[in-house]
Amino acid sequence: MTKNTYKEALAHPIFELIATSSKELGIESYVIGGYVRDFLLNRGKGMDIDIVAVGSGIELAQKTASLLSHKPKVQIFKTYGTAMLRAYDREIEFVGARRESYSEESRNPEVASGTLQDDQNRRDFTINALALSLNQDDYGQLLDPFGGIEDLKRKIIRTPLNPDITYSDDPLRMLRAVRFASQLNFKIERESLQAISKNRDRIKIISKERIVDELHKILRSPKPSIGFGLLHQTGLLKIILPELTALEGIDEIEGQRHKDNFWHTLEVVDNIAENTDDLWLRWAALLHDIGKAPTKKFDSKVGWTFHGHEFVGSKMVYKLFKRLRMPLNEKMKYVQKLVLMSSRPIVLAQEVTDSAVRRLIFDAGDHIEDLMTLCEADITTKNPRRFKKYHNNFKLVRRKMKEVEERDHVRNFQPPISGEEIMEIFNIRPSREIGIIKDAIKEAILEGEIPNEYEPARKYMLEKGRELGLEPVKE
């Protein structure tokens, strides 16, 4: 084993305190896992720090807390033998070094206390098993029993022990492997990849919440297609998101082909990842075409069609969120809305009229910017001429949108005349006519027949009222 020290990784004052506490308790302690990995990769963020104590992690946490001037509360998780405290800007997790043994049905192992090496053995990947000593005689020394440093350099995800057993023991690790590959742009080593394919069905014992957590992290990564490609390659995607794998493939009838909507989707997600960090907009990109599988038809006159796929897709979003136990809240509605509207700007780009632009802004409301971002990401043509043309079309749409919005303010449309006012003017009670008049005013504004202003709307209302046989009692 190489003997490298990385004292600079321990510059944060918390490490001195943990070292002092360990010494006073007469136990050894180490920084391990994500913090060490991210330090070596220069991935600055590393808010969480994981500490392993060869002894009681809970006692070490309590001792450390007592040395801190703000005396933070120590959260103890007895069942797991872990403790957590917040100090400075960090969350610090303490665990006692342990050995684990697994049973078939559950990913919760039997645990017994062990050595540092035992604890490193139970870690998921070599790059996550790296530990730095907080002990006096070798402070800052790196303990790397499985060649994790080498794997960091070679950009490889590899398990410390037999991959088949590692993934079978805790199938969540399969998703973690894919997620780290996507976040770090690493390769999953061949044997690991095979073991994941072999064990993919065991993903079924993992809770939906955990699965979704990892999907979020893959979607948030710089190039999500790395992760989704690996999920697809290992067969996990078909189990987790069959709506997506259903999009794969190209059919040909009478010499006519359509594009492969699965690989197209992954390109769209990568494109959008360059323009937004918004998780839900990225979800919308991932799901924007899912309605294409169930709506696909061939018509010998027009070729392949996917009529109504946006509507069908938006309904599928609900079912998918429900199945994955994702919250059925505003975020879900947002994704549904973007999927539902995903073709609107494309249709519009072919003939940009003021009224079509007003309708688009009216229907999309505050999501209009996101919708445009989605549509621009949707351009995946490999023909440079078309690529440029489509982007230029959208630039024109955006310019027109700005113009129309500055003039007509339909983005958060408030009817210039309220229902109450209509009732008062015609001296009528709540009735169908009021809805008709209000709707007619809205339509006239969107069509550009009248401006979005009070006086013209009032005049228009009087006309409409007369058509309906209503006489104003005041003008």
182's contact among Mg ion, ligand ATP, none, with CB below 5 to 8 A by partner kind, is none
Q: Is 84 in the site for ligand ATP (CB under 6 A)?
A: no
Whether residue 192 contacts residue 176, with contact meaning beta carbons closer than 8 Å, is answered with no
Q: Which of 9, 31, 49, 50 binds ligand ATP (CB under 6 A)?
A: 50
* CA–CA–CA angle 249, 255, 259 (5° rounding): 30
Which residue, 212 or 428, is less far from Mg ion as judged by CB? 212
Stretch that binds ligand ATP, among 12-20, 64-72, 165-173, 226-234 (CB under 6 A): 165-173
163's contact among ligand ATP, Mg ion, none, with CB below 5 to 8 A by partner kind, is none
Q: What letters, b where the CB count within 10 A reaches 16 and e where it falls short, cover 319-340? A: ebbeeeebeeeeebebbbbbbb
Distance of CA 349 to the CA centre of its chain: 29
Q: Is 258 in the site for ligand ATP (CB under 6 A)?
A: no
Q: How far is the CB of 104 from ligand ATP (least distance, A)?
A: 17
Whether residue 205 contacts residue 107, with contact meaning beta carbons closer than 8 Å, is answered with yes
Q: How far is the CB of 278 from ligand ATP (least distance, A)?
A: 20
292's contact among ligand ATP, Mg ion, none, with CB below 5 to 8 A by partner kind, is none
* Sequence-ordered list of residues with C-beta below 8 angstroms from that of 177, at least 6 positions apart, any chain: 124, 125, 157, 167, 188, 192, 196
Residue nearest Mg ion, Cβ-based? 34
Hey, what amino acid is at 85? L
Stretch that binds ligand ATP, among 69-77, 167-175, 284-292, 439-447 (CB under 6 A): 167-175
Q: Is 98 in the site for ligand ATP (CB under 6 A)?
A: no
Q: How far is the CB of 236 from ligand ATP (least distance, A)?
A: 15
Q: Is 214 in the site for ligand ATP (CB under 6 A)?
A: no
Q: CA-CA distance, 411 to 395, in Å (whole number)?
A: 19
Q: Is 128 in the site for ligand ATP (CB under 6 A)?
A: yes
Q: At what angle do helices 432-447 and 354-364 cross, to 10 degrees?
A: 130
465's contact among Mg ion, ligand ATP, none, with CB below 5 to 8 A by partner kind, is none
3-state secondary structure at position 338:
helix
Interacting residues with ligand ATP between 104 and 123 (CB under 6 A):
123
Q: Is 148 in the site for ligand ATP (CB under 6 A)?
A: no
Q: Which of 23, 41, 48, 415 binds ligand ATP (CB under 6 A)?
A: 48
Which residue, 81 or 415, is less far from ligand ATP as judged by CB? 81
Residue with tokens 């003039």: 407
Q: Which of 115, 119, 107 is nearest to 32 (CA)?
A: 119
Which residue, 39 or 283, is less far from ligand ATP as judged by CB? 39
Residue with tokens 């610090």: 92
- By the criterion CB under 5 A, which residues form the site for Mg ion? 34, 48
Where would I find the H helices in 185-260? 190-199, 208-220, 224-233, 236-240, 242-245
Q: Is 34 in the site for ligand ATP (CB under 6 A)?
A: yes
* CA–CA–CA angle 432, 435, 436 (5° rounding): 85
Q: How far is the CB of 235 from ligand ATP (least distance, A)?
A: 20
Q: How far is the CB of 34 from Mg ion (least distance, A)?
A: 4
Number of residues that bind ligand ATP (CB under 6 A): 10
Distances (CA, A) of 320 to 325, 342, 393, 447: 8, 18, 33, 37
Percentage helix, strand, coil for the chain under 3-state DSSP, each rounded to 5: 55, 10, 30
Question: What φ, ψ does residue 91 adopt, rounded to 5°?
Answer: -105, 125
Residue nearest ligand ATP, Cβ-based? 34
Q: CA-CA distance, 329 to 338, in Å (whole number)?
A: 15
Q: How far is the CB of 394 from Mg ion (least distance, A)?
A: 40
Q: Is 172 in the site for ligand ATP (CB under 6 A)?
A: yes
Q: Is 213 in the site for ligand ATP (CB under 6 A)?
A: no
Q: Is 124 in the site for ligand ATP (CB under 6 A)?
A: yes
Stretch that binds ligand ATP, among 73-81, 169-177, 287-295, 306-314 (CB under 6 A): 169-177
The total number of residues shown for the chain amounts to 475
| Strand pairing class (256-257; 252-253) | antiparallel
Q: Which of 28, 144, 170, 408 binds ligand ATP (CB under 6 A)?
A: 170
Q: How far is the CB of 372 from Mg ion (least distance, A)?
A: 36
Q: Is 225 in the site for ligand ATP (CB under 6 A)?
A: no
3-state secondary structure at position 393:
helix
The binding site for ligand ATP (CB under 6 A) comprises 33-34, 48, 50, 123-124, 128, 170, 172-173
